[in-house]
Amino acid sequence: MALHMTRTPRTEDATVDVFASVLSEHVLPKYRMPDGHTPAPAVYSMIHNELLLDGNAAQNLATFCTTWSEDEVHRLMNECIDKNMIDKDEYPQTAEIESRCVNILADLWHAPRAVGAEAAATGCSTTGSSEAAMLGGLALKWRWREARRAAGQSADRPNLLCGPVQVCWEKFARYFDVELRQIPLEPGATGLRAHQIAMYADENTIGVVAILGVTYTCDYEPVAEIAEALDRIQAEHGWDIPIHVDAASGGLVAPFLHPEVVWDFRLDRVVSVNTSGHKYGLAPLGVGWVVWRSADRLPEDLVFKVSYLGGDMPTFALNFSRPGGEIIAQYYLFLRLGREGYRRVHQACADTARHLAGQIAAMGPFTLLYDGQGALPAVSYTLTDPEGAGFSLYDLSDQLRMRGWQVPSYPLPADRETTVIQRILIRHGISRDQTALLAADMRRALAHLTAGSPAAAAERTAFHH
Ligand SMILES: *Cc1c(COP(=O)(O)O)cnc(C)c1O
């Protein structure tokens, strides 16, 4: 038994120094709730200090997620701490702002406008792209099943085609009983290639997931070419296979930096798109979006009606209660930055990525794979000679971690898993100066890691003689 408070508890008043308080004399409870209460400032300080061990989010170069927000975002998040977005009746304005965000995204992604009988785009917020992917995948499965049943065909073996997807699609497939046909990477490819699809598609294919911003390589998959491949498959076999674009990161980068890339609702085959508001949408953690090109793409029986301002509010979500602040913060960012603002923020990141890529290329042992141009703002590289380098990328990650930098090393997905790469994401809040400091730390780490290598020994010998 830990912590017997058999002594008369000392009276604690507000004047007691936090680090002289009873709480600070013990390790914090880990298994059992304490019996009594403790002054707020002391508890706050203890937990605050414990969290310092988490590391510095600003040095986390592995994440796509927002790690920096303006004060106004903090204020709005604080003001919305009590808003439950599911409660559309109680918080109708939050619901209104959510639908404005959906409209803005549908417009940004060129959803067709409602003409006559054609329904307009529809969509909703989620906790992130993972939930959005579940919803997009469910809609694909339902639509496919309806069509199969209507044609009197069996509908018990659905499959979904994709390249090197994020784990959320593996979860979707497992949770909702769909066979995931993950198409292996071709040599030299950074994602799914259109000509690969024909070999994997059949009458039970509910859709193809195309990724705008592959997690491993940061590249955009060629959605337009994939759509053409599916047109050919339809002409040949009659299977009308739709595309869902997982634009978790790219959905709020491409419209600003690469407007010429045709990947969105401009392609008829793209029926739905998801994005993470908390990645390049720059909102704080906890918001994603899914949009369908028209309401008829979202099967009726997946939508639950809740009463809202005397009317009916359709909801489609896995969660019930969820904070409203992230949605409000997303709307703030749309208004605050506008298209030009997003373009400048992301362009600055892409420029910084290119600059850092140049420095990394000049360090010697690396072969650059991506310099942040053409897709997500990021840098990736591999060791030119993994056998002869005298260290691995994992060793380098460990060295950088000693200075607080989180730079991940990982193998590429199947069939290129023998290639280990390192990837640095540049996002809002990472300045040129910060990457210069990182580059200096990389050079120091390399000097340290190669100090005992034959190449370094030869250099020392040459120096001494
Ligand atoms: C991040 C990511 C996801 C998961 O998104 P969350 O918002 O973290 O749930 C899905 N797909 C891709 C391509 C991603 O980059």
Quick check: helix, strand or coil at residue 272?
strand
Q: What is the DSSP letter of 11?
A: P
Q: Does 161 have pLDDT greater than 50?
A: yes
Of all atoms in ligand 1, which is nearest to the CA of residue 211? 13
pLDDT at 453: 67
> From ligand 1's centre to the CA of 276, what distance in Å?
7
Q: Does 178 have pLDDT greater than 90?
A: yes
What mean pLDDT do residues 99-123 have?
Answer: 88
Q: To which H or E segment does residue 61 belong? A: none
Rounded Cα gap, residues 147 and 284, in angstroms? 39
Q: Whose alpha carbon is nearest atom 5 of ligand 1? A: 129
How far is the first Cα of the chain from the last one, in angstroms, to the nearest whole number?
Answer: 66
Q: What is the DSSP letter of 331?
A: H
**Range of weakest confidence among 84-98, 189-203, 383-397, 427-441:** 84-98
Q: Does 207 have pLDDT greater than 70?
A: yes
> From ligand 1's centre to the CA of 203, what distance in Å?
28
| Domains by residue range for the chain, with CATH | 18-54 (no CATH), 75-334 (3.40.640.10), 339-464 (3.90.1150.160)
Give the count of alpha carbons within 13 A of 26, CB side only: 12
H/E/C letters for each residue in 163-219?
A: CCCCHHHHHHHHHCCCEEEECCCCCCCCCCCHHHHHHCCCCCEEEEEEEECCCCCCC
Q: Which sign, positive or negative, has the C-alpha torsion 193, 198, 199, 201?
A: positive
> From ligand 1's centre to the CA of 64, what distance in Å?
9
Q: Does 320 have pLDDT greater than 70?
A: yes
* 340-344, long-range: CB < 8 A, 24+ apart: 342/252, 342/255, 342/256, 342/282, 343/256, 343/257
Per-residue pLDDT of 183-195, as tens digits, reads: 999 998 999 999 9
Pocket test for ligand 1, best of 246, 253, 290 (most atoms within 8 A of CB): 246
Is the pTM of the predicted complex or chain greater than 0.85? yes
Q: Whose alpha carbon is nearest atom 1 of ligand 1? A: 248
What mean pLDDT do residues 356-364 have?
Answer: 97
Confidence tier at 204 by pLDDT (50, 70, 90):
very high
Mean of all residue pLDDT scores within the chain: 92
Q: Whose alpha carbon is nearest atom 14 of ligand 1? A: 248
Q: Residues with Cβ < 8 Å from 182, sequence gap 6 or more?
A: 162, 163, 164, 165, 414
Of all atoms in ligand 1, which is nearest to the CA of residue 276? 7
Q: How many CB atoms lie within 10 A of CB 80?
A: 19
> From ligand 1's centre to the CA of 282, what distance in Å?
14
Phi, psi of 171 (to 5 degrees): -65, -45
Phi, psi of 148 (to 5 degrees): -65, -45
Of all atoms in ligand 1, which is nearest to the CA of residue 132? 9
| Residue in 54, 67, 51, 24 with CA at minimum distance from that of residue 427 | 67
What mean pLDDT do residues 392-399 have?
Answer: 97
Confidence tier at 8 by pLDDT (50, 70, 90):
very low
- Measure Cα distances from 61 to 73, 400, 404, 435 in Å: 22, 11, 10, 10
Per-residue pLDDT of 50-90, as tens digits, reads: 999 998 999 999 999 999 999 999 999 999 999 999 888 88
Confidence tier at 408 by pLDDT (50, 70, 90):
very high
Q: Give residue ranges with CB within 6 A of ligand 1.
A: 64, 128-130, 166, 168, 211, 213, 215, 246, 248-249, 276, 288
Confidence tier at 2 by pLDDT (50, 70, 90):
very low
Rounded Cα gap, residues 212 and 375, in angstroms? 8
pLDDT at 388: 94
pLDDT at 220: 97
Q: How far does CA 278 lie from the centroid of its chain?
A: 7
Token reading at 328: 């409000």
